[in-house]
């Protein structure tokens, strides 16, 4: 991973994160073409975009410098950037799918930031595992919050933290169980897209049922 593939993948992850930090607004009230135009005009005129761009440039020079040094330093940096990029993109896709299915935001950008941080320190494979453990880690507390406060919206971040701790403590066992899945290679991407589409469909059905029951307007 010391060749051009490693460098390009590291830069893609780094600039993808820089783009995620920018002030992005998407409004389709006047159509997709108008929304696309306003999106870029607003993005380019925002002061924070310039600061993040310079941060991206400095990060690029740092990545290039460490890449030229090669060795363990580059391997560690590449692994951290790849973990950050894949983990952040993974939960961002879940966030986008939730938005499409439920027609409302079901997961905040803070969850994306948290998962990206976990990915940088733990790697992307543990982050995929801990994401699916999180609902089980918080099911008891989540039900109690719903019963006590009558609020169906539950913060997901604390459960991600709890599942991250469980994953770190039990990773040898989790890896032994999930390694055959991660060895699927490109099929894993196809499987992930299929599960994402099923999630959007299921959430759309849930929204339809809620409207029929008068839970949401």
Inter-residue contact 24 to 112 (CB < 8 Å): no
Q: How far is Cα 122 from Cα 164, in angstroms, rounded to an integer?
A: 9
pLDDT band (50, 70, 90) for residue 165 = very high
Q: How far is Cα 102 from Cα 95, in angstroms, rounded to an integer?
A: 11
Burial (CB count within 10 angstroms: exposed 0-12, middle 13-18, buried 19+), residue 118:
buried
Contacts 24+ apart (CB under 8 A), 168-171: 168/122, 168/126, 171/126
Q: How far is Cα 4 from Cα 191, in angstroms, rounded to an integer?
A: 28
Q: How far is Cα 51 from Cα 104, in angstroms, rounded to an integer?
A: 30
Phi, psi of 27 (to 5 degrees): -125, 125
pTM for this predicted structure: 0.81
Closest CA to 20 of 81, 87, 89, 82: 89
Structural domain boundaries in the chain: 1-69, 72-217
pLDDT band (50, 70, 90) for residue 129 = very high
Neighbours of 13 (CB within 10 A): 26
Inter-residue contact 130 to 175 (CB < 8 Å): no
pLDDT in tens, 174-214: 999 999 988 888 888 888 899 889 988 998 998 888 888 77
Pick from 28-32, 69-73, 147-151, 196-200: least confident: 28-32
């Amino acid at each position: 991973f010391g060749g051009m593939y490693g460098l390009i993948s590291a830069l893609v992850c780094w600039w993808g994160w820089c783009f995620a930090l920018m002030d992005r607004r998407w409004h389709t009230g006047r159509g997709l073409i108008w929304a696309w135009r306003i999106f870029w005009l607003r993005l380019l005129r925002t002061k924070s975009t310039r600061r993040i761009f310079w941060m991206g440039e400095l990060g690029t020079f740092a990545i290039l410098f460490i890449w030229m040094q090669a060795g363990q330093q580059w391997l560690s940096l590449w692994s951290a950037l790849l973990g950050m990029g894949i983990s952040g993109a993974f939960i961002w896709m879940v966030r986008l799918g939730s938005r499409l299915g439920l027609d409302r935001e079901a997961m905040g950008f803070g969850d994306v930031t948290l998962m990206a941080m976990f990915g940088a320190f733990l790697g992307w494979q543990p982050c995929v595992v801990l994401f699916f453990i999180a609902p089980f880690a918080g099911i008891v507390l989540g039900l109690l919050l719903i019963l006590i406060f009558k609020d169906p919206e539950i913060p997901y971040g604390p459960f991600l933290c709890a599942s991250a701790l469980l994953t770190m403590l039990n990773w040898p066992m989790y890896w032994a169980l999930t390694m055959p899945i991660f060895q699927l290679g490109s099929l894993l991407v196809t499987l992930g897209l299929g599960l994402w589409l099923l999630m959007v469909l299921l959430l759309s059905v849930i929204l339809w049922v809620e409207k029929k029951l008068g839970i949401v307007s």
